[in-house]
Structure 1
Amino acid sequence: MSVPNSHQPSRRLIALQKLMLLAASKSRGAEDVGRTRTITQSMESLQRRVRGVKETTSTVAGVPVRWFRPERADARLLFHVHGGAFVAGSSLAARAHSRLARCHHAELVSVDYRLAPEHPFPAALDDVWAVYSEVAQDRPTVIVGESAGGGLALSLVRRALDRGGNTPKGLVTMFPWADLTNSSDSFVSNGHRDVLSREGLSRSAMAYAGDCDLSMPLVSPLYGSFAGFPRTLIVVGTHDCLLDDSRKVSTCMRAAGVDATLIEIAAGIHGFILLPAPESKEARRQISSFVGTALSEP
C-alpha cells in the first residue's frame, strides 16, 4: 500500500531544507570519510533524549550498544540501526527515537556497529546480527533503521529469517539505502534538490562493499528476497535521491506477499524526519501508530 502525502509542503519544511541544501552545496566535491563523520556527528549532537527515559552504554556480544529505558518499560523492544552511509554515524542517533520508546513502554537499543572503510562488509551486518541474536530472543521486537541503517535493517531481517532467528513483529525503514549500485533514476531527478550526491554515496558504497559485488543481496538488499518479511513501513521524501530505493523495495515486498506500506512525503529531502517541521511530526505519528500495532500483535 502506498500512502502519498498530497499536501503542499509547509513553509517551515521548505525553509529548513533550503538551509540544509546550502550547507551541502558548500561541501560538494570535498566529501571524504573524515568530513562525512564530522557532519554526521554534528547532526547527531542536535538530538535530545526525552524525559523519563534513562540512557546507558554497554556491550552485547562484544559490540558497543546504547540503551534507552523508559521508567515503565516492559518486554517489548525497539532495535535501532543508525545511518551514516556505512562510514559514519553512531548510536547517539537513537535519541531521536527515545520518545517512541517511552510512548510504547519499550526498551530501545542502538548498535555501534563497525564502520567502513576500516571494517568493510560484512562487519556491520555481523555486529547488528550478533546483538540482535542476543537481545531480541523471545521478545516482541520492531526493527527501526534510517538511510544506510535502513538498508542494513533489511539485510538483518533477511539474515534472521535465513538463520532461524527471532522474526521481528515489524520493520520501520526510513529513506533506506537499499541499492548500493546507485543506478536509480531518482539520482538524476532529485540530484539538484537533495543533500545527497551520487558521487559521494558511490565512494561510501565502494568503501563498505570492499571486495564484494555491489549488487550482492546482503550488501544491496534490493536484489535479495523479501519472502517471509514482517509487516513493514517505509518512509521517504519525494525529493530524496534514494526515493527509487524505497519505491522498488516496497514493490518487491508486495510481490513477495509482505504487508508493506510506503509513505511518501511531498518535497521531503533525505533525512527530513529529523527537521522540526509539520511533515516530520506527522511522519513520526504514523511511525508510532505502526509500531504500536506491530508490538501489540500476538
Structure 2
Amino acid sequence: MPVPKSDRASRRLIVLQKLMLLATAKPGSALDVGRTRKITQSMESFQRRARGVQETTATVAGVPVRWFRPARAESGLIFHVHGGAFVAGSSLAARAHSRMARCLGAELVSVDYRLAPEHPFPAGLDDVWAVYSEVARDRPTVIIGESAGGGLAMSLVRRVIDRGGDAPKGLVAMFPWADLTNSSDSFVRNEHLDMLSRKGLSRSAMAYAGGQDLRDPLVSPLYGSFVDFPRTLIVVGTHDCLLDDSRYVSTRMCAAGVDATLVEIAGGFHGFILMPAPESKEARRQISSFVGAALHDR
C-alpha cells in the first residue's frame, strides 16, 4: 500500500544532500572498501544515544552485539541490522533508534555481524540468525534494518519462517538493498543525486556474495518468496539509487498477500534518515508508530 509523498524537500535536506555529495565525491573511481568504512564510521559518529537508555556491549551465540535498554522495557524487542553495503558499518548506528526504544518501552539490540570481503555470504546472515534465535524467543519482536541491513533483514525473516523460528511481529526496511545485481533504472535516474553508485555497489556485491549467484534469494531477497512475511514498512527517498529496490519489493510483497506499506520521501537520498532534517524526523515518527503497533499487535 503506497503512501503519497510530499511534493518537495526541505531546504535543510537539500543542503545536507549537497554536503554528502561533496564528502563522497572522488572523480574517476568508485568508493573502495577502506573509504566506505571511513564514511560509514563518520555517519555513525553523529548518532547519539537517547537519555535514559543504558548502552552495553555483549556477546550472544558467539556474535558481538550492542544492547540499548530503557529504564522500563516491557513491550518487547527491536532487533536492528545495520547497513554499510555488507563491507562496513557497526551496531553504533542503532543509537539513532534508541529514542524509539525509550518511547516504546522496548529493548533494542544491534548485531555486529561479520563483514565482507573478509567474511563473505553467508557469514553475515548466519550471525544475525544465530543472535535472533537466542534473543527473540517467546517475546514480541520487530526487525528493522537500513540499506544492506534492510536486505539482510528480509533474508533473516525468510530464514526464520523457513526454519520454523519465532516469526517477528513486523519488519521495517529503510532504503533496503534488496537486489545485488544493481540492475534497476533508479541508478541512472538518481546517479547525480545520491552518494551511491552502481559501480561502487557492484564491487561490494561481489565482495559479499563471494562465488554465490547474485540472484540467490538469500543474497538478493527481491528474487525470493515473501509468502508469510509479517506486516512490513518500507521507507525510501526519491533521490535514492535504491528507490526501485523498495518499489519492486513492495509490489512483490503485496502480490504475496503481505500487509506492506511503502513510504517515499521527496528528495530523500541514501541514508537521509540518519540526518538532522524535518523529513528524517517525520520518517522516524512513522517508523516508531509502526513498530509500536506491531509490538502490541494492533
Shared fold, TM over 0.5: yes
Query: Matches of 1:192 and 1:287 in 2, distance apart?
Result: 28
Q: Could you tell me how far 1:135 is from its partner in structure 2?
A: 0.3
Q: Could you tell me how far 1:26 is from its partner in structure 2?
A: 3.4
CA contact (8 A) 2:233 2:261 kept: yes
Hey, what does 2:2 align to over in structure 1?
A: 2
The yes-or-no answer on 1:259 pairing with 2:271 is no
Hey, what does 1:196 align to over in structure 2?
A: 196
Hey, what does 1:95 align to over in structure 2?
A: 95
Superposed CA deviations along residues 14-50 of structure 1, whole A, max 9, x for unmatched, are 1111111111223661521111111111111110001
Query: Matches of 1:296 and 1:144 in 2, distance apart?
Result: 16
Amino acid at match of 1:68: F
Amino acid at match of 1:10: S
CA contact (8 A) 2:133 2:165 kept: yes
Query: Matches of 2:45 and 2:28 in 1, distance apart?
Result: 22
Hey, what does 1:55 align to over in structure 2?
A: 55
Q: How does 1:88-237 map to 2 (within 5 A)?
A: 88-237=88-237
Amino acid at match of 1:56: T
Query: Matches of 1:26 and 1:20 in 2, distance apart?
Result: 12
Name the SS for the 2:6 alignment partner: coil
Query: Matches of 2:287 and 2:75 in 1, distance apart?
Result: 20
Amino acid at match of 1:162: D
Hey, what does 1:71 align to over in structure 2?
A: 71
TM-score w.r.t. the length of structure 2 is: 0.98
Alpha carbons of structure 1 residues 240 and 106: separation in structure 2 relative to 1, 3 Å: same
CA contact (8 A) 2:75 2:104 kept: no
Amino acid at match of 1:90: S
Amino acid at match of 2:103: C
CA contact (8 A) 2:75 2:295 kept: no
Percentage of identical aligned residues? 81
Superposed CA deviations along residues 92-130 of structure 1, whole A, max 9, x for unmatched, are 000000001001100000000000000000000000000
CA contact (8 A) 2:216 2:223 kept: yes
Query: Matches of 2:259 and 2:61 in 1, distance apart?
Result: 32
CA contact (8 A) 2:175 2:234 kept: yes
Q: Could you tell me how far 1:192 is from its partner in structure 2?
A: 1.2
Alpha carbons of structure 1 residues 189 and 163: separation in structure 2 relative to 1, 3 Å: same
Query: Matches of 2:99 and 2:238 in 1, distance apart?
Result: 26
Query: Matches of 1:146 and 1:104 in 2, distance apart?
Result: 20
Alpha carbons of structure 1 residues 162 and 27: separation in structure 2 relative to 1, 3 Å: farther
Hey, what does 1:295 align to over in structure 2?
A: 295
In angstroms, what is the RMSD of aligned CA positions?
Answer: 1.0
Q: How does 1:26-41 map to 2 (within 5 A)?
A: 26=26, 29=29, 31-41=31-41
Query: Matches of 1:160 and 1:25 in 2, distance apart?
Result: 39
TM-score w.r.t. the length of structure 1 is: 0.98
Query: Matches of 1:13 and 1:120 in 2, distance apart?
Result: 35
Name the SS for the 2:214 alignment partner: coil
Runs of 4+ in 1 over 2 A off after TM superposition: none
Amino acid at match of 1:254: C
Query: Matches of 1:205 and 1:227 in 2, distance apart?
Result: 25
Name the SS for the 1:177 alignment partner: coil
CA contact (8 A) 1:4 1:266 kept: no
Q: Could you tell me how far 1:6 is from its partner in structure 2?
A: 2.2
Query: Matches of 1:227 and 1:167 in 2, distance apart?
Result: 13
Amino acid at match of 2:169: K
Q: Could you tell me how far 1:4 is from its partner in structure 2?
A: 2.7
Q: Which runs of 5+ in 1 are unaligned?
A: none
Query: Matches of 1:64 and 1:27 in 2, distance apart?
Result: 36
Amino acid at match of 2:3: V
